Amino acid sequence: MDVQEYLDHMNRGDPIEGGGEIHKIMREINESTMQLTFELNSHYHTQAEVRELFEKIIGKPVDKTFRLFPPFYTNCGKNTVVGKRVFINTGCHFVDQGGITIGDGTMLGNNVILTTLNHDFDPEKRSTTYPAPILIGKNVWIGSGVTVVPGVKIGDGAVIGAGSVVTRDIPDHVIAAGVPARVIRAIHPGEKPRQRKDLARERLEELD
């Protein structure tokens, strides 16, 4: 079995039995990918060098507008697709066996975890895993410390608050936050975050 056959298995959502043939291929990919992530994370690289190493990790080219601040962690990498103007901040973890797609203009804060594998609930079969993809739309902002679990879709223009755990689909153009993440409100066209001076003025008004 080659890497493409392995990815086809994953993208069908077929289970991976612990100790089976697919699991052995997974382990081989783990080892080769960890060598590349060690090279990426062990010393300074220019952004051009970072892009080159990231392309080796995911096995496909990325646009010159892609930016990543190491360290970055993944134990597969081969099932990740990123669009143009994507930014990945320090400390992010991708468990991408089930497939991770990140749309144009999306930004990931520090220490974001995207995980696409679930384990079997049966303790006797706990080593069996089930892949499911994560799909992140265009111009999404995912705050620091967010975890996104398998099978979730995040719509275009959404904002995910720091520290959230995203367990269900998030619509386009909303702010969602919490554990589990829930939609707080819609984002209005042209809306901007409140500035520090606005917050200070609101506090003064409350004291009057």
DSSP 121-164: SSGGGTT-EEE--EEE-TT-EE-TT-EE-TT-EE-TT-EE-TT-
The SS3 of residue 13 is coil
- What is the structure's pLDDT at 196? 60
Q: Cα 170–173–174 angle (5° rounding)?
A: 60
Under DSSP, the state recorded for 170 is B
96-123: per-residue pLDDT in tens? Answer: 999 999 999 999 999 999 999 999 999 9
Residue-range domains of the chain with CATH: 3-207 (2.160.10.10)
* DSSP class of 195: P
Q: Point out the residues that are catalytic.
A: 119
Q: Residue 23, by phi and psi: left (phi above 0), alpha (psi -120 to 50) or beta?
A: alpha
Q: Which residues of the chain have pLDDT under 70?
A: 194-208
